[in-house]
Structure 1
Amino acid sequence: MNKNEKKRKELSYYHLYLQKHLQENRFEQADDASFIETRADLAATAYEQARREGYPIEGAQELAMQTLLKGLHHSRYAILREVITNEFAYEIPEMRQEALTTKLLPLVDSVFSIYDLSDDHFAQSLDYDLLYSELTGAVVLYLAEYGV
């Protein structure tokens, strides 16, 4: 790959979008350049193929984004942060929610281990509700023992 091709890959919309998504939601793949490059290339290929098949721009973009984010809609960090933000807004000041999420994440790893977060429809499943409840309980127990 020459210097211009490398620069173009680094500046690709899909590459940058995925990299930001992975970092913001603290996915394990956030620092995996090969993973990001492969996914970005697959998304670009999906877009190009869809356009060749006659899809409108919006439809092709939707297919590309599905390809880009397949299995990456639900991160452990984002789900735990959502629980803390939604369920403990009064107990935990907003400025401390980030730190608590980071602190609790390794402690609730076993809770996450029994759920398939790679399912793109996980948030609409009963399993999501169960996970949400279990995490809420774990936070309650942590706060009861250690406080904020």
Structure 2
Amino acid sequence: MNQTKKELSYFRLKLEGYLRDHHPELRTDSAFIGARVDLALSSYCDSVAQGFSHLEAEAMASEVLYQGLHCSKYDTLVSILMEEFSEELPEPLPHRLAPILLGNKSIQAVFSGYKLHDDFDGSPEYELLYTELTGTIVLHTNFRRSRLNTSPPHSPRKSSVLHANSRHTSLSIFSPLSSLLVEGISEAPFWD
């Protein structure tokens, strides 16, 4: 019995840590966490009973634990913010902004059109999602957009360039948001 409780806690901690880092929107879903931990524990116990080593059983249980969680909305948004808006949002701002974006209805609507799965990152649909999310972020911000190769009036920095649909659109939309996030404001009202 003590061994079962220890393994249950191990899988719970492992999953909660993973959700915290990659799926913050799921970290408070106790029903999901409980069900997934139970499945992983069952997989582990069944594997050991079938003669697999503890390391092999743990690997099999981990597959069950993380099934369907290898591609995350949070990681996708962080990737977009880091790749497309690196000048406007230096580290660690993409990680701080992504949870705010996850709560936005327009971003949620984009994600609802795609079924994320473990192999989604390498699929053509991922490229479509990436482009659509990037456009949604650009279109739904209140910040001034500048022309290609020009500096915005409120910032001496050269703006970054977004490549979309073979056109180059210059962005300087996150400078005000960056300063808000740096000052420690966890949520900034920047959507229309």
Q: Which TM-score band applies after superposition, normalised by the shorter structure? A: 0.7 to 0.9
Structure 2 CA distance, aligned partners of 1:34 and 1:100? 27
- Asked if 1 retains the 8 angstrom alpha-carbon contact of 2:22 and 2:75, the reply is yes
Could you tell me the TM-score, scaled by structure 1's length?
Answer: 0.78
Identity percentage of aligned residues:
38
- Asked if 1 retains the 8 angstrom alpha-carbon contact of 2:71 and 2:119, the reply is no
Change (3 A) 1:20 1:110: same
- Asked if 1 retains the 8 angstrom alpha-carbon contact of 2:7 and 2:41, the reply is no
Secondary structure at the counterpart of residue 94 of structure 1: coil
Paired letter, 2:126: Y
Higher percent of residues as helix: 1
- Asked if 2 retains the 8 angstrom alpha-carbon contact of 1:9 and 1:15, the reply is no
Structure 2 CA distance, aligned partners of 1:78 and 1:49? 32
Residue number in structure 2 paired with 1:45: 42
Structure 2 CA distance, aligned partners of 1:46 and 1:53? 10
Residue number in structure 2 paired with 1:13: 10
Q: Which runs of 5+ in 1 are unaligned?
A: none
Aligned residues: CA RMSD: 2.7
Deviation at 1:113, TM superposition (A): 0.6
Q: Deviations over 1:50-98 (max 9, x none)?
A: 1222334343222101111122222222211121123322232224323
Residue number in structure 2 paired with 1:127: 125
- Asked if 2 retains the 8 angstrom alpha-carbon contact of 1:39 and 1:67, the reply is yes
Structure 2 CA distance, aligned partners of 1:10 and 1:47? 9
Change (3 A) 1:43 1:10: closer
Q: Deviations over 1:93-119 (max 9, x none)?
A: 2243234323333131111011112x2
Instruction: Identify the match of residue 88 of structure 2 among 87, 91, 111.
Output: 91
Q: Which has the larger radius of gyration?
A: 2
- Asked if 1 retains the 8 angstrom alpha-carbon contact of 2:24 and 2:99, the reply is no
Paired letter, 2:122: Q
Structure 1 CA distance, aligned partners of 2:95 and 2:127? 22
Whose relative contact order is higher, 1 or 2, with alpha carbons under 8 Å and at least 6 apart? 1
Paired letter, 1:83: I
Q: Which runs of 5+ in 2 are unaligned?
A: 144-172, 175-192
Provide the aligned length of Structure 1 versus Structure 2.
Answer: 142
Deviation at 1:14, TM superposition (A): 0.5
